[in-house]
């Protein structure tokens, strides 16, 4: 249904360091870059960010978050570890979320601009 999502950030270099590190374990990479914007994806850029004079203020009660599909549970774990190592905050350690479904394995982090992120894998693993 969606072609892409764009967010505003305060510091593009900081965002690049964070997203290069945290999205790599999920198989996503920087595919497009300009002086004031970045585009991430696998085959085509679908998650965009640009320098914004007034990025949306972080609001943990807004319900807004971005969920990235992960190929394996181990990649969810790696996403979470990389996000924290790159300056993000923990917002939910990796694990099964039985309330969401029997094989819903996810981890949650908050990026340096306050955006809430999730990595999710639905594949059962032994």
Q: How confident is the model at residue 93 (pLDDT cuts 50, 70, 90)?
A: very high
How many domains is the chain built from? 1
Identify the burial level of 57 via C-beta atoms within 10 angstroms of its C-beta, where 0-12 means exposed, 13-18 middle and 19 or more buried: exposed
For residue 64, which of 8, 116, 114 has the smallest C-alpha distance?
A: 116
- Residue 89 within a domain: yes
CATH code of 80's domain: 3.10.180.10
- Residue 109 within a domain: yes
pLDDT at residue 80 greater than cutoff 50: yes
DSSP-derived letter for residue 26 is G
Taking only the tens place, the pLDDT of each residue in 9-43 is: 999 999 999 999 999 999 999 999 999 999 999 99
| pTM flag (> 0.85) | yes
* Mean pLDDT, range 54-81, rounded to an integer: 93
Domain extent for 113: 5-52+64-121
Structure tokens given for 119:
């990595």
What percent of the chain lies above the pLDDT cut of 90? 86
């Amino acid at each position: 249904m969606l072609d892409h999502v764009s967010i505003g950030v305060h510091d593009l270099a900081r965002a690049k360091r964070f997203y290069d590190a945290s999205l790599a374990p999920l198989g996503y990479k920087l595919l497009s870059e300009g002086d004031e914007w970045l585009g991430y994806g696998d085959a085509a850029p679908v998650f965009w960010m640009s320098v914004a004079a007034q990025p949306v203020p972080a609001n943990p009660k807004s319900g807004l978050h971005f969920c990235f599909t992960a190929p394996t549970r181990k990649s969810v774990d790696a996403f979470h570890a990389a996000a924290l190592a790159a300056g993000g905050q923990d917002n939910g350690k990796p694990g099964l979320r039985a309330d969401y479904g029997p094989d819903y394995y996810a981890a949650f982090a908050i990026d340096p601009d306050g955006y809430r992120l999730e990595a999710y894998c639905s594949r059962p693993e032994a």
